[in-house]
Chain A
Amino acid sequence: MTNLLSRLFGRSKKGSGATAKDRLRFVLQHDRINLPPERMEEMKREILAVIVKYLVVDQDRVEIDLEQRDRTHSKLTAEIPVAIHTPASANKAVESTVAAADSAGANGANNGANADAEKDDTVDEVDKAEAPDAAEDAKADKRGNGESEADRKS
C-alpha cells in the first residue's frame, strides 16, 4: 500500500527517463509472475484477513513485497508485526489500527463524494482486516459520528 501511494504521489522531479524505468520495473514485476497489481493487493488483503483472525497485527507496519532478483527468481516477503499478548500492548495495537481507519475516514468525510478510489481503498483494507470491534468503531466514525470512539476510550 505505502508502495503504491509513493508510486503515485511521491514522484520527485526527475526526468521522464527515470519515470520510464520505475514504471517498467513495476510492470515487469507483475508481468513476470503473471499477477496484475490489483490482484496482488487483493491477495495481500486476504493474507492479512486470515492473520488477523488469529493475531493482533499492527496494520500500519505491515509490509508484503515482491522481491525480484532477475527474470526467473522472485520472492514474496512479508513483515507483519504482531502484538505480544499482554493486556496493555494488545490494546495499544488495536488502538493504533483504529487511528489509521480514523484518519482515512475523516479524509473521506472532508472530501465528501469526491473521496477518490485510493482513499476508499485504504478504508476498506483497514475495515476488512480489523478485529471486529475495532471495525465497528471505524465504521461509526466514517458515518461522521463526531469524535472517534477510540479517542473517547483512550
Chain B
Amino acid sequence: MGGKVVTISSGKGGVGKTTATANLGISLASLGKKVVVIDADIGLRNLDVIMGLENRIVYDLVDIVEGRSKLRQAMIKHKKFDDLFLIPAAQTRDKMAVSPDDMVKLTNELREDFDYVLIDSPAGIERGFRNALEPADEVLIVTNPEVSAVRDADRIIGLIEAADKGPGKLIINRLKADMVKKGEMLSSEDVFDILGLTIIGIIPEDELVLSASNSGVPVTLNMQSKAGMAFNNVARRVIGEDVPFMNLDENLGIFQRLVGLLNGR
C-alpha cells in the first residue's frame, strides 16, 4: 500500500490544525521521510503561507482534480527539504469542487511515492471534512483545553468512528502549564478522561508560533521553541518512536516553582 495518509482534523476552527500540519510535515521531512501536505480547506487557503510557500503557487488541488494540471506540476517543493511538498487549496472555488472519491484517487497516487500524506482538514463537519476524512489511514484530532473545543472534538470523534476511521489520536494544543497548575485550565488528563482517546501530542502555548506564522517558517525549525519541540515529538510518535512527553513546567519561573513546592505539588 505504500505511504500512510494522516488527516489532521478538529471540528472547531482556529485550534491549530494548519499549524500542526505544517509542523508535522517539516518534522517528518527532517526525520528523513518523504512527505506531501495537502491543504483541503478549499476557499480558505492557509497552509501555503504558514509554510512560507505562497509565492510559488501555480496550480492547486482543484486544478489537479479537474485535470488542468498534472499531479506533479501542482506540487510545490519546500525551500529547505527536497522531500517535502505542498498541494495548495484552491482559493476561489468552493468545497464542492472536490469529492471524497477525488481525494482517495489523489492520495492513492501519492502513496506510491511518499511515506506520509498529511491532510489539513477544514473546520466543520461538512463536505470539506468528508474530503479530508475519506482517504485517511489515521486521524489526528487537534483540540485546545477549552470547553467548546473539546466539545467539538467529541463530535468529530463520533463522526470519525462512525466512518470506521477511528480511533483517532489527540493533539492537545495551546496548553498553559501554569494555568493548569492553578486549576484554571483543563489538564491533558482531564481531556483524556473526557474524550478517552490516546494523546499523541501536548503542545504548549508559545508566542513563537505567531512569529513563525509571521515569517512563514514553522516553529519546529526554531530550536528555542517548546511548541516546536513538542510538534517534533508528535512526528516521532507518528513514525512509531516511543517518545516521553516533555515536562512543560520547566519554563515556569523560580517563584512559581517555589509556590508549587510550598503547596506540596
Q: Are B150 and A70 interface neighbours, CB within 8 A?
A: no
Q: How far is the CA of A71 from the CA of B179 in the complex (A)?
A: 28
User: Per DSSP, are chain A's interface residues mostly helix, strand or loop, or mixed?
Assistant: helix
Q: How far is the CA of A144 from the CA of B34 in the complex (A)?
A: 80
Partner of B151, one of A17, A18, A31: A31
B170-203 interface bits toward A, Cβ cutoff 8 Å, 1 = contact, 0 = none: 0000000001101111110010011010000000
A17-52 interface bits toward B, Cβ cutoff 8 Å, 1 = contact, 0 = none: 110110111011001100000000000000000000
Q: How far is the CA of A83 from the CA of B189 in the complex (A)?
A: 44
Q: Are A20 and B154 interface neighbours, CB within 8 A?
A: no
Chain A to chain B: the 3 pairs with minimum beta-carbon distance, closest first? A15-B183, A17-B183, A21-B190
Q: Are A27 and B183 interface neighbours, CB within 8 A?
A: no
Q: Which residues of B contact A27 (CB under 8 A)?
A: 147, 151
Interface residue ranges of B132-169 to A (CB < 8 Å): 146-147, 150-151, 154-155, 157-158, 161
By a beta-carbon cutoff of 8 Å, the part of chain B in contact with chain A is 146-147, 150-151, 154-155, 157-158, 161, 179-180, 182-187, 190, 193-194, 196
Q: Which residues of B contact A18 (CB under 8 A)?
A: 183
Q: Which residues of A contact B190 (CB under 8 A)?
A: 17, 20-21
Closest residue on chain B to residue A70 by CB atoms: B196
- With A17-B190, A32-B158 as contacts: A24 and B183 at CB distance below 8 Å: no
Q: Which one of A18, A20, A32 has the greatest number of beta carbons of chain B within 10 Å?
A: A20
Partner of A17, one of B158, B187, B193: B187
- With A15-B182, A17-B185, A17-B190 as contacts: A24 and B151 at CB distance below 8 Å: yes
- With A15-B184, A21-B186, A28-B194 as contacts: A71 and B150 at CB distance below 8 Å: no
Closest residue on chain B to residue A15 by CB atoms: B183
- With A32-B158, A71-B154 as contacts: A24 and B182 at CB distance below 8 Å: no
List, sorted by A's number, 13 A–B pairs whose CB atoms are closer than 8 Å: A15-B182, A16-B185, A17-B187, A18-B183, A21-B186, A21-B194, A24-B186, A25-B194, A27-B147, A28-B151, A31-B154, A32-B158, A72-B161
Shortest CB–CB separation between residue A50 and chain B, in angstroms? 32
Q: Which residues of B contact A31 (CB under 8 A)?
A: 151, 154-155
Q: How far is the CA of A27 from the CA of B155 in the complex (A)?
A: 11
Q: Are B147 and A24 interface neighbours, CB within 8 A?
A: yes
Q: Which residues of A contact B184 (CB under 8 A)?
A: 15-17
Q: How far is the CA of A23 from the CA of B194 in the complex (A)?
A: 11
Q: Which residues of A contact B157 (CB under 8 A)?
A: 71
Q: How far is the CA of A23 from the CA of B158 in the complex (A)?
A: 19
- With A18-B183, A21-B194 as contacts: A71 and B146 at CB distance below 8 Å: no
A75 at the interface (CB under 8 A from B): no
A14 at the interface (CB under 8 A from B): yes
Q: Which residues of A contact B154 (CB under 8 A)?
A: 28, 31-32, 71
Q: Are B151 and A20 interface neighbours, CB within 8 A?
A: no
Q: How far is the CA of A16 from the CA of B151 in the complex (A)?
A: 16
Q: Which residues of A contact B146 (CB under 8 A)?
A: 20
Q: How far is the CA of A120 from the CA of B150 in the complex (A)?
A: 33
Q: How far is the CA of A24 from the CA of B182 in the complex (A)?
A: 19
Q: How far is the CA of A14 from the CA of B150 in the complex (A)?
A: 20
Q: Are A20 and B158 interface neighbours, CB within 8 A?
A: no
Partner of A20, one of B155, B186, B196: B186
A67-98 interface bits toward B, Cβ cutoff 8 Å, 1 = contact, 0 = none: 00011100000000000000000000000000
Q: How far is the CA of A135 from the CA of B196 in the complex (A)?
A: 46
Besides the known contacts A15-B184, A24-B194, 6 further A-B residue pairs in the complex with CB atoms under 8 A apart: A20-B147, A20-B186, A21-B186, A21-B190, A31-B154, A71-B196
